[in-house]
Amino acid sequence: MTRTALLVALAAAAVAWAATLPAGEAGKPAAPSASAAPAASPLPEVAAPLADWKLLIPGPDMTGWKKPTGEWQMVGEAVKDPANEKAIATKPGTGIIYNGPKGRTNNICTGAEVGDAALHVEFMIPKGSNSGVYLMGRYEIQVYDSFGVEKDAYPGIECGGIYERWDPKRGKGREGFEGHSPRINASKAPGEWQTFDILFQAPRFDAAGKKTANARFVKVVHNGQVIHENVEVTGPTRGGAFADEKPTGPLMIQGDHGPVAYRNVRLQPRGK
């Protein structure tokens, strides 16, 4: 075959291949998998690559999460619904979990329990929605639509806030206490994927089971910006799965407050 004929044949093959792609996709790099991990954690205290951490939503279903998982489903794509800014539209596949078409279902907990841990979470909420990530099923980092909000209703309600504790015995209007606002509002617009990177220290107990040190959020990073450092939590925050405290517990994701989607939820247990 002559050089000219070879070039013509290669060009024809390229055209044929491009014709098999969806409109507008020719020449674009392949989109990353929903479960593909970023190369590294923004937590300098954690050396291991994120790809080496345990993926908590491996698929193809809700494997690894305690039943009942309600209407939580695994999908391949989740975006803000173009027809309804307060809803999520999805496409079939794997790598993402969301709390169903109604946007309200039960909370879910991992089967495995952990104490000290580093956690990477990617989440997406539509306008006005609300969820939360509970370390050990007890201590919540709030997921909330705080985009553009200068000051929210109370400390800890903001996206990235350490949610308040709750005690009715304190009296009406004073039940909530010890909520911690993030240093800055790092929230993205509704419908955009966001990240939390959390370094958490579990409470400590002596041989008799008496607590000797409170749980502590050593560092929380929201969309690459540090929002908490060395914040103690004296007990479970409101809405947790447990009222007591233990050396270990599951990860809990809140599903009953509004539409939300999660992907790349990765955990690395840390030795005491």
- pTM of the predicted model, to two decimals? 0.85
Per-residue pLDDT tens for 137-177?
A: 999 999 999 999 998 989 999 999 999 999 999 999 999 98
Distance CA 46, CA 270 (A): 9
pLDDT of 31 reads 43
How many helices, marked H, and strands, marked E, lie in the chain? 1, 16
Q: What DSSP line would sit under 235-248, residue for residue?
A: SPPTT-S-SS--S-
247-264 residue pLDDT tens: 999 999 999 999 999 999
Three-point CA angle 73, 74, 75, nearest 5°: 115
What phi and psi values does residue 89 have, to the nearest 5 degrees? -105, 145
Q: Is the pLDDT of residue 114 over 90?
A: yes
Domains of the chain, by residue range, sit at 1-30, 31-269
Instruction: Tell me which residue of 267, 244, 240, 219 sits closest to 114, measured CA to CA.
Output: 267
Higher model confidence: residue 219 or residue 11? 219
Distance between CA 179 and CA 231 in Å, rounded? 11
Q: How high is the pLDDT of residue 41?
A: 74
Q: How high is the pLDDT of residue 228?
A: 97
The pLDDT value recorded for residue 49 is 80
Q: For residue 265, give the nearest of 73, 114, 53 by alpha carbon.
A: 53
pLDDT band of residue 125 (cuts 50, 70, 90) is very high
CB contact at 8 A, 244 and 255: no
Confidence of residue 67 (pLDDT cuts 50, 70, 90): very high
When pLDDT is cut at 50, 70 and 90, the band that residue 37 belongs to is low
Architecture of domain 31-269: Sandwich (2.60)
pLDDT band at residue 16, thresholds of 50, 70 and 90?
A: very low
State residue 24's pLDDT score. 41
pLDDT higher than 90, residue 26: no
- Report in angstroms the alpha-carbon separations of 17 from 1, 11, 95: 22, 10, 27
CA distance 197 to 221: 5
The predicted-structure confidence for 214-249, as pLDDT tens digits, reads as follows 999 999 999 999 999 999 999 999 999 999 999 999
